[in-house]
Amino acid sequence: MKKIFQKWFPPVLAVVMAVWFFGNLQPPKDKDFAFNQFGQLPVVADGRLKPMDSLARDSLLEIRQVQMLDLEPWKEWYVNHKTISADEWLANVTMNPAVADEWPVFVVANPDLVSLLKLPEMNKTNSDGEHYSWNQIQPSLDTLEKENDRVEKIDSASRTAYENAIAKLHERLMLYAQLKNTIQPADADNWPAELASFEQSIPDGIAAAKAQQAGQAYNKTNFDAFAYNISRFQFMANLEPPLILPPDGTTEWRRTGDALLDAPHGKPLDNFTHDYAKMAGALAANDPEQFNSALADLRSQLVPTQSRALAKSRAEVFFNQMEPFYNAMVIYILAGLLAIFSWFNLSESLRRSAVWLVWLAFFIHTTGLIYRMVLEGRPPVTNLYSSAIFIGWGACLLGIILEKFHRNGIGVVASSGIGFITLIIAHHLALEGDTMEMMRAVLDTNFWLATHVVCVTVGYASTFVAGFLALIYIVRGVFTKTLDEATGKSLARMIYGIVCFATLFSFVGTVLGGIWADQSWGRFWGWDPKENGALIIVLWNALILHARWGGMIRERGLVNCAIIGNIVTSWSWFGVNMLGIGLHSYGFTDAAFFWLMSFVASQIAFIILGLLPPKYWRSLRDKTPA
């Protein structure tokens, strides 16, 4: 019985987790309004074609830092909260702002800012003291605007927390205002009716405007109504919201505002504008049937010319729902815990379960990675976000290979540990906005992204694996009795092998970067911070290898050096971006700086542990003569 259990438990557990993952793939059904269908409509935002669903998720992430909106955040956590999907939120923001403006979506956590805007304090009916609605903030918009004018003049590096909060909130409100002007003017009460009357008024309006300009008598009612509409459409277009109207053969993707402004110039409005207006009217009138039929009509209009855009949107929506990186993260945690337990009771079936689970997580991780590459048409690493995903993937693969040879749970713990941490980092980087942003001119080259960037990132990943193995060595050695001589030797051999591997990739990657720079700027090496960061990794790995060959360091020296590798790599990965100089710098965030410093401090603490004499190591104490 026990044997059967030991044999079958690992695969059964993996199958359970796999069922959990694949079960979530089924998209949720629309109840009345077809918001999921709405999410599949193509739109151009941030310079690329994407589904409304991605626009909704990215915007909600930027504004509220979540992908589902909790409408009642002031309720206790154990009570059932009403939550809605990002799609439903976006549909209401763009087409039914009267309702959306009541939802607590803006994060205002800074207490000074809360009091500046005279926002309600935490209570049990309409405020959790942290999330506020447009309607709650709106009365103080002028105050905010004034403060923001002042803050904008301050260099972003020398702003206080309060000033950062001002700038951030202003950015979020701007984004919200853009979204509100995507489909209809934000102040529309009954958009389909207003649109129809505008179209009707065009001939009379033009006549009145011409007469007015010529200094002749004109119909003032017609003129005022026309001028009022033109000015609000101009306002709409000037906000530069996403482009929702597909090309009609003569134009590219267009904004509603631009199309409305073109209407008096002999370019009649297309069916898409009308269908969107119908949807808006139906949503405001709470008429799901009308909404769904307008939506169906819009989709059928898109089919003949935009079938590729529709297919791409559908694919991306599927990817959004799959959430492969989140799911992989959950499984990594489980696998890591099982493997760690296996060290204590030395249970082979626990270790095997962990291996099975890591394989499953790696499979999901890989699926997500490849899916992203196909969606983007790019190599795996294009920005900081995807570098985190790829470092996790590479480290996981190395860990699996190590486990295959050593079969002692160490590879699995390294795989799941780094996989989990990097996916957490990626999750936080995703809060900055669209993670599939377009590549600026100089980066727009798949060849160098596929060679230089991938090599350097594999170099990062392997240096982290070596460092993580070193952490395992120290934790097990100092705090437990599980680091016997064989395990220690095996760990040291793994670290040495991985450092060799890391040297190869970081060196080749760094030099390829130089060659890319030579190809695009005319200089092989410019001492740019990011280049220097990569060079330090190469030099450090080379130093470890030479010190080992020269006998200057042995097992524990190697372990401590590998931990310094963690510091060096995190500096190159994130630290140099915080200097705010050079060609590679892409922004600075206070939170990132705090976490980087904490990471460095923790690594130094581990090195200090590693330097403790053997008598303080629980694993070594018994073997060394006192």
Contacts 24+ apart (CB under 8 A), 252-259: 253/44, 253/49, 255/182, 256/181, 256/182, 256/183, 256/184, 257/181, 257/233
CB of 323 to another protein, least distance (A): 27
Tell me the two tokens of residue 616: 């303080």
Can residue 580 be called a binding residue for another protein (CB under 8 A)? Answer: yes
Nearer Cβ to another protein (129/580): 580
Can residue 150 be called a binding residue for another protein (CB under 8 A)? Answer: no
CB of 58 to another protein, least distance (A): 14
CB of 369 to another protein, least distance (A): 24
Which DSSP symbol is given to 76? -
Amino acid, res. 423: L
Can residue 118 be called a binding residue for another protein (CB under 8 A)? Answer: no
**What is the size of the binding site for another protein (CB under 8 A)?**
65
CB of 19 to another protein, least distance (A): 35
Q: Which of 411, 528, 565, 620 binds another protein (CB under 8 A)?
A: 528
Nearer Cβ to another protein (104/399): 399
Which stretches within 214-255 are classed as H helix? Answer: 220-238
Can residue 547 be called a binding residue for another protein (CB under 8 A)? Answer: yes
CB of 527 to another protein, least distance (A): 5
**Could you write out the DSSP letters of every residue in 22-59?**
HHTTSPPPP-SS-HHHHHTSEEEETTEEEEHHHHHHHH
CB of 525 to another protein, least distance (A): 6
Can residue 581 be called a binding residue for another protein (CB under 8 A)? Answer: yes
Q: Which of 180, 255, 372, 556 binds another protein (CB under 8 A)?
A: 255
**Could you write out the DSSP letters of every residue in 406-466?**
H-SSHHHHHHHHHHHHHHHHHHHHGGGS-TTPPPPGGG--HHHIIIIIHHHHHHHHHHHHH
Can residue 97 be called a binding residue for another protein (CB under 8 A)? Answer: no
CB of 407 to another protein, least distance (A): 10
Q: Which of 224, 240, 485, 590 binds another protein (CB under 8 A)?
A: 240
Q: Which range touches another protein (CB under 8 A), out of 28-36, 110-118, 511-519, 586-594?
A: 511-519
Can residue 177 be called a binding residue for another protein (CB under 8 A)? Answer: no
Can residue 527 be called a binding residue for another protein (CB under 8 A)? Answer: yes
Distance CA 114, CA 137 (A): 9
Where in 305-334 is the site for another protein (CB under 8 A)? Answer: none
Nearer Cβ to another protein (271/446): 446
385 close to 435: Cβ distance less than 8 angstroms? yes
CB of 165 to another protein, least distance (A): 25
Query: Residues 6 or more apart from 490 whose CB is under 8 A from it?
Result: 406, 408, 410
Which stretches within 96-219 are classed as H helix? Answer: 97-100, 111-116, 134-137, 141-152, 161-180, 191-213
Q: Which range touches another protein (CB under 8 A), out of 19-27, 287-295, 473-481, 528-536?
A: 528-536
Q: Which of 42, 97, 242, 380 binds another protein (CB under 8 A)?
A: 242
366 close to 307: Cβ distance less than 8 angstroms? no
Can residue 557 be called a binding residue for another protein (CB under 8 A)? Answer: no
Nearer Cβ to another protein (336/513): 513
Distance CA 453, CA 446 (A): 10
Where in 409-438 is the site for another protein (CB under 8 A)? Answer: 437-438
Tell me the two tokens of residue 178: 């853009």
Burial class, 448, CB count within 10 angstroms (exposed 0-12 / middle 13-18 / buried 19+): buried
Query: Residues 6 or more apart from 614 whose CB is under 8 A from it?
Result: 620, 621, 624
Residue 400: how many other CB atoms lie within 10 Å: 17
Distance CA 92, CA 286 (A): 11
Q: Which of 12, 98, 154, 442 binds another protein (CB under 8 A)?
A: 442
Can residue 579 be called a binding residue for another protein (CB under 8 A)? Answer: yes
Distance CA 432, CA 192 (A): 35
Distance CA 90, CA 597 (A): 37
Can residue 51 be called a binding residue for another protein (CB under 8 A)? Answer: no
CB of 70 to another protein, least distance (A): 31
Distance CA 85, CA 427 (A): 18
Can residue 171 be called a binding residue for another protein (CB under 8 A)? Answer: no
Q: Which of 390, 468, 507, 606 binds another protein (CB under 8 A)?
A: 507
Can residue 586 be called a binding residue for another protein (CB under 8 A)? Answer: no
Tell me the two tokens of residue 35: 């918001």
Can residue 95 be called a binding residue for another protein (CB under 8 A)? Answer: no
Q: Which of 5, 521, 594, 616 binds another protein (CB under 8 A)?
A: 521
Sign of CA dihedral 454, 456, 460, 463: positive
Q: Which of 176, 325, 540, 574 binds another protein (CB under 8 A)?
A: 540
Nearer Cβ to another protein (187/252): 252
Query: Residues 6 or more apart from 182 whose CB is under 8 A from it?
Result: 94, 241, 242, 244, 255, 256
Can residue 400 be called a binding residue for another protein (CB under 8 A)? Answer: no
Tell me the two tokens of residue 415: 């795989």
Can residue 237 be called a binding residue for another protein (CB under 8 A)? Answer: no
Q: Note the residues at the interface with another protein (CB under 8 A).
A: 44-48, 240, 242-243, 252-253, 255, 405, 437-438, 440-442, 444-445, 448, 497, 500-501, 503-504, 507-508, 511-512, 514-516, 518-529, 532-533, 535-536, 539-540, 542-543, 546-547, 549-550, 552, 568, 571, 576, 579-583
